[in-house]
Structures are given as structure tokens and as C-alpha cells.
Amino acid sequence: MSVFVDEAQVHLKAGDGGAGAVSFRREAHEDKGGPDGGDGGKGGDVWLVADSGRSSLVAFRDHPFHRAQDGVRGGGKRRHGQNGADLYVAVPVGTVVRDLDGSVVCDLSGSGDVWLGARGGRPGRGNARFLTNARRAPRFAELAEHGEERWYNLELKLLADVAIVGFPNAGKSTLISRVSAAKPRIADYPFTTLEPHLGVVKVPSGVPGDYDDFVIADIPGIIPGAAQGRGLGLKFLRHIERASILLVLIDMSYMADMSPTDQIHSILSELEQYNPYLLERPRLIVGSRVDMADMAGTNVPTDNRVEFTISSVTGQGIDQMLFRLNAMLKEVRLSTTALPGSSSSNLPSGGISIPESASVAASALGHHVVVHRPMPEGITISRDIDGVLTVSGRDVLRAVALTGLDDVDTAMYVSRKLDRLGVDKALKKAGARDGDLVRVGDVEFTYYDEGSTAGAPFSASMRRKQSSE
Ligand SMILES: Nc1nc2c(ncn2[C@@H]2O[C@H](COP(=O)(O)OP(=O)(O)OP(=O)(O)O)[C@@H](O)[C@H]2O)c(=O)[nH]1
Ligand SMILES: [Mg+2]
């Protein structure tokens, strides 16, 4: 039996870049040739891709970890390391991605939508790239950047055109199994259905031999007090948030505990408590189990908001209701204004192919590429409780990622680069005083107001905290 899972966590780790190489040409007649260390390869990115072949997040329960390939380090003779392959992780269409602090970072609502979840580390340049007239034998190369690594919360909101809401036992599952191929369990007790089911409904379009289709969802029953957690609570209502139409199913049988009017009132008020926008959503109120309405000639109570009465057992009223739903859907799809609190849905199409280069392939297919840049590019400076000034930012961290800082030449190079990036100015602005300890990645130096060592203000005191390689 398949398990429906609509919440999961995922850990994405992009590939680390490959480091640049330090190497010198060796020739028989020459003692020491010029630098020929090649660049490393880029680390692979990790993308999430909405795949209509997936229907639940269950795979992430057992396998939350996804890692792209690392780039290969550079070699001598200017050999470049190979790039790490990107990784595409398939998620169901309708997956909403949140940061661990709860903010939505991406909504993969269309089949084939891709999103960059973790960016591969940039490669390091080999020492061949640091050759200048003044520096004939650079003994340093760039280290590579680590691939991004982060946890996300995934949440699945099913994409149905029509969602059936109603009390337990109202006949929701019987209805969906009558009008589609979905086969949820049906039984004469409440809370038979514990997970949402989707079914595709085919309706004659009006043109002979031609059919329209739409997706209908059977959601576990809600009861009065669901908003306060009674019964199964309201958590399944997230799956109706994107439905274009709500089909409110009322039990018309003599077995119903409440009158149709009370049922309608109660369901609408639970919907409102979950999300007030749901009351603005087009809806159709339908009375079900109407073949069981009349017991020995009793008066059957009704409510004038009930537009159709149906029986999923005898088939009474079903075709008319489907016809009406189809017409309502066409109307909704034509209207240009988006539904409040939702995005319109499409019938999931066939399987997608994973694009080689996501941005190119995806835009060619008219899909949505959502690119997310989690790491800020600018410089940030914070003072720790022990008084140390910590400088961070992608480019800054990159500048100190070099092999061998013990070398004076290397320290000068790093120092100048930090200065060019504006670290000196930023430190001054952040209130740095002479003698303050500054930390950038695993490199530390002592701050002195510029002038003391023109052009390379930090080099004299620069050292690496722990040796990294
Ligand atoms: N006579 C008759 N019985 C029906 C009809 N629709 C459903 N039933 C019966 O009503 C009972 C409940 O039907 P379900 O389809 O399981 O109800 P549900 O709304 O899915 O219930 P939960 O999953 O518990 O929320 C079952 O015994 C069905 O056979 C109908 O139109 N006529
Ligand atoms: Mg059911």
C-alpha cells in the first residue's frame, strides 16, 4: 500500500569545487619552469524539479539526503579538473519549499518547474593564473569553495480542480470512485478516508466524441470543531487551498445527524477558520445519499443553497452535477483574475525529462525556473562576544581560500584583494580599532588603520587558524 506523505524534510548538499593546483613545469634542461597548475572543476548544483510522476513526499522520509558530485582538483600541465555533475531531485508537482524558519522560498506548482536549492562550490584557480611580471613563481593556488548545504521543509499541496469537502460518511469517497478511476476505501463509519485521493473525471465537452477532463480530490472528512483539532483537524484542508472549486457535500440521508442547513453552516465556518479566502472560492453545494433521504414518507428537510441532489449508488443527478462543475471550471479558467489565495491548476501532464541544463531546457519548454541565491554576495561584519570582528560574504571568503598563507607573497596577495573588495572600509565603518582581531573564514589578522602597510594593510599579521590541507 502506498503511504501518502505530505510533509518531509530534505537535506541538499551541492558538490564542493575542486582546488587549483600548484605545479611547475619540469624540463630536462631547466631547473624550474614556469607555473603550470590547472584550475579545479566546479561543484555540481542540486536542483529540485517538479515531476508529475511523483505523487507524494514519502521517498524523503527514508532518504532525506541528496548530494551532488564534487568538482575534481586541477593538475599539473594546466590540466583542469572536471566539473561535478548537477543533481536533480524529483518532487511532486505542488511542492512548496520552506526554509527552516518557515518562510516560503519556492513553490513548484507546474510540471517541470525547477529550482536551485544548493549551489555548487566555485573551483579554485591554479597557480598558472597568478603569474605576473612581478611574481614569476607563484607558490599558491586558490582553494575551492564548499558546495552549499542546507535543510528545507517540503510541503505538498495537491493540485485538484475540484475538491470535495464534507463530514465523515457523507459519501465523498463513494462519489469519487463513481466518477473517476480513484478507488479509496468506502465504509459505513466515519474517518474511513485518512489520506487525500485524486481522480480524473471525463465529461462530454459538448462536441460529439470530445471530452473535457478535470481532477477531483477526495479529502478526509472534517467535523465541527476541526479548527480546534477535533477529528483529523484541518491539516488536510491545505490540499483544497489550490482547488478552483469547492464541492461541499451534504448528507441528505435520514441517517444524517444534522439538518442540511446546519451541515452547510458548520462546514463553511470550519473552512473560514482555516482560511477566510476559501469562502470566496467558487463552490457548489450538493446533497448526497438522496436515495436514502426518504424513510417511510417522512418529510425530507432541505436547504435552498443545495443546487443538486445526487446518489452515488443509483447514479441519480451525477451527470448533471459533473456537467455543471465542468462549466464552472471553464468559467474560472477564462477569468483572468487569480483566485484569492491560490494559483490555478492544470491537469498533470505526462512524465518530464530531466533537463541537462535546467535553465535552457526549462525555458524552451515554457517552464518556470526559480533561481534562488541563498548566500548573500555583500560584506557583513559582526562583532562576537569576545570582541573579534568576523567578516563574511561570498567573495570575501573566496579571497582567503588560498593554499599556503605562510608565504609572504601569498599573504600580500590576499591582503590586497581584501582591500580591493572594500573590507578595510567596511571594518572602519563597523568601528574597528587598532589592535582588533579580525577573522575571515579561517584566516585571522590584526586590524591597523591604513597607511601603516600601504596597499596591503593586513598582510603582516596574517595567519591561518588551523592548517586546512
Ligand atoms: N445508499 C447510498 N449509500 C451511499 C451513497 N454514498 C455513500 N453511501 C454509503 O455511505 C457510507 C459512507 O460512504 P463513504 O464514501 O465512505 O463516505 P466518506 O464521506 O468518504 O466518509 P469518510 O471517508 O469517513 O469521511 C458507505 O457505506 C457508502 O456505501 C449513496 O449515494 N447512496
Ligand atoms: Mg471517505
Kindly give the confidence (pLDDT) of every residue in the chain, 469 residues in length, as a single tens digit, with 9 standing for 90 and above.
Answer: 445 678 899 999 999 999 999 999 887 676 678 899 999 999 999 999 998 888 788 889 889 999 999 999 999 999 999 999 999 999 988 899 998 888 888 888 888 889 999 999 999 999 999 888 888 888 888 988 899 999 999 988 877 889 999 999 999 999 999 998 878 888 888 778 888 888 888 888 888 888 888 889 898 888 888 878 787 777 788 888 888 999 999 999 988 889 999 999 999 999 999 889 999 999 999 999 999 887 655 667 788 999 999 999 999 999 999 999 999 998 887 774 444 444 333 323 333 333 333 333 333 333 444 444 444 567 888 888 888 889 888 888 888 887 766 677 778 888 888 888 888 888 888 888 888 899 988 888 888 876 544 555 666 677 777 544 4
Q: Which CATH number fits the domain that encloses residue 184?
A: 3.40.50.300
Residues 167 and 151 in one domain: no
The finding on whether 221 has its CB within 6 A of some atom of ligand 1 is yes
Q: Which pairing describes strands 197-204 and 162-166: parallel, antiparallel, or unpaired?
A: unpaired
> Where a domain ends, among 325, 344, 370?
370
CA 171 to ligand 2 centroid distance, Å: 7
Ligand nearest to the CA of 221: 1
For ligand 1, atom 5, which residue shows the shortest CA distance? 289
* Mutate-to-test residue for ligand 1 from 164, 165, 174, highest number of ligand atoms within 8 A of CB: 174
404 pocket-lining for ligand 1 (C-beta < 6 Å)? no
- The predicted pLDDT at position 324 comes to 95
Residue from 164, 186, 191, 219 whose mutation best tests the ligand 1 pocket (most atoms within 8 A of CB): 186
Asked if residues 159 and 240 have their Cβ atoms less than 8 Å apart, the reply is: no
Task: Tell me if 28 is assigned to some domain.
Answer: yes
Residue 171 sits in the same domain as residue 65: no
CB 397 within 8 A of CB 145: yes
Q: Do 264 and 250 touch, CB atoms closer than 8 A?
A: yes
Let me know whether 304 and 366 are in one domain.
Answer: no
Tell me how far the alpha carbon of residue 231 lies from the centroid of ligand 2, in angstroms. Answer: 14
- Decide whether any atom of ligand 1 lies within 6 Å of the 289 Cβ: yes
Same domain membership, residue 403 and residue 310: no
Q: What is the CATH number of the domain that holds 113?
A: 2.70.210.12
Q: What is the pLDDT of residue 456?
A: 58
260, three cell numbers: 442540511
Q: Is 309 in the pocket of ligand 1 (CB under 6 A)?
A: no
Residues 6+ apart with CB under 8 A from 296: none
- At position 440, the amino acid (one-letter code) is V
CA distance 87 to 358: 10
State residue 316's pLDDT score. 94
Place of cell 443538486: 308
Q: Are residues 24 and 138 in the same domain?
A: yes
Distance from residue 312's CA to the centre of ligand 2 (Å): 13
Claim to verify: residue 297 and residue 428 sit in the same structural domain? no
Residues 271 and 365 both lie in one domain? no
Output the CA 256–ligand 1 centroid distance in Å. 11
Residue closest via CA to ligand 1's atom 11 equals 188
Pick the closest to residue 156 from 242, 223, 218 (CA basis). Answer: 242
Task: For residues 74 and 184, state if they share a domain.
Answer: no
Atom of ligand 1 nearest to the CA of 221: 25
Angle 51-350-90 from CA coordinates, rounded to 5°: 10
Structural domain that includes position 433: 380-464
Dihedral sign (CA 99, 102, 105, 111):
positive
Distance from Cα 282 to the centre of ligand 1, integer Å? 24
- Residue partners of 225: CB distance under 8 A and separation at least 6: 231
Residue 190 beta carbon below 6 angstroms from any ligand 1 atom: yes
- CA dist., res. 349 & res. 215, Å (int): 12
In a domain, 204, yes or no: yes
Asked whether residue 113 falls in the same domain as residue 208, the answer is no
CB of 311 shorter than 6 A to ligand 1: yes
Q: Which residues lie closer than 8 Å to 320 by C-beta, 6 or more apart? A: 308
Backbone phi, psi, residue 397, to 5°: -65, -35
Decide if 309 is inside a domain: yes
Task: State the chain's maximal CA–CA distance in angstroms.
Answer: 113
pLDDT at site 408? 76
Q: Residue 60 falls within a domain, yes or no?
A: yes
- Residue 199 in any domain: the answer is yes
Instruction: Identify the nearest ligand to the CA of 170 by its number.
Output: 1
Same domain, 112 and 178: no
Residue nearest to atom 25 of ligand 1 (CA): 168
Nearest CA to ligand 1 atom 8: 171
Number of domains into which the chain is organized:
3
Within a domain: residue 347?
Answer: no
Ligand closest to 321 (CA) is 1
Give domain status of residue 469, yes or no: no
What ligand 1 atom has the least distance to the C-alpha of 166?
19
Residue 149's alpha-carbon distances to 9, 15, 155, 165, in angstroms, are: 13, 9, 19, 40
Ligand 1 centroid to 253 CA: how many Å? 10
3-state SS track over the chain? CCCCCCEEEEEEECCCCCCCCCCECCECCECCCCECCCCCCCCCCEEEEEECCCCCCHHHHHCCEEECCCCCCCCCCCCCCCCCCCEEEEEECCEEEECCCCCEEEEECCCCCEEEEECCCCCCCCHHHHCCCCCCCCCCCECCCCCCEEEEEEEECCCCCEEEEECCCCCHHHHHHHHCCCCCCCCCCCCCCCCCEEEEEEEECCCCCCEEEEEEEECCCCCCCHHHCCCCCCHHHHHHCCCCEEEEEEECCCCCCCCHHHHHHHHHHHHHHHCHHHHHCCEEEEEECHHHCCCCCCCCCCCCCCCEECCCCCCCCHHHHHHHHHHHHHHHHHCCCCCCCCCCCCCCCCCCCCCCCHHHHHHHCCCCEECCCCCCCCCEEEECCCCCEEEECHHHHHHHCECCCCCHHHHHHHHHHHHHCCHHHHHHHCCCCCCCEEEECCEEEECCCCCCCCCCCCHHHCEECCCCC
For residue 343, tell me if it sits in a domain.
Answer: no
Q: How far is the CA of 176 from the centre of ligand 2 (A)?
A: 9
Choose one of 169, 189, 222, 223 to mutate for the ligand 1 pocket test, by most ligand atoms within 8 angstroms of C-beta: 169
Predicted local distance difference test score (pLDDT) of residue 295 = 67
Distance 169 CA to ligand 2 centre (A): 7
- Ligand number nearest to the C-alpha of 314: 1
What integer pLDDT is reported at residue 297 of this predicted model? Answer: 55
Ligand 1: atom nearest CA of 312 is 31
Co-location of 321 and 172 in the same domain: yes
What burial letters (b/e) apply to 24-55, b meaning 16+ CB within 10 Å? beeeeeeeeeebbbbbbbbbbbbbbbbbbebb
CATH code, 417: 3.30.300.350
Same domain, 293 and 389: no
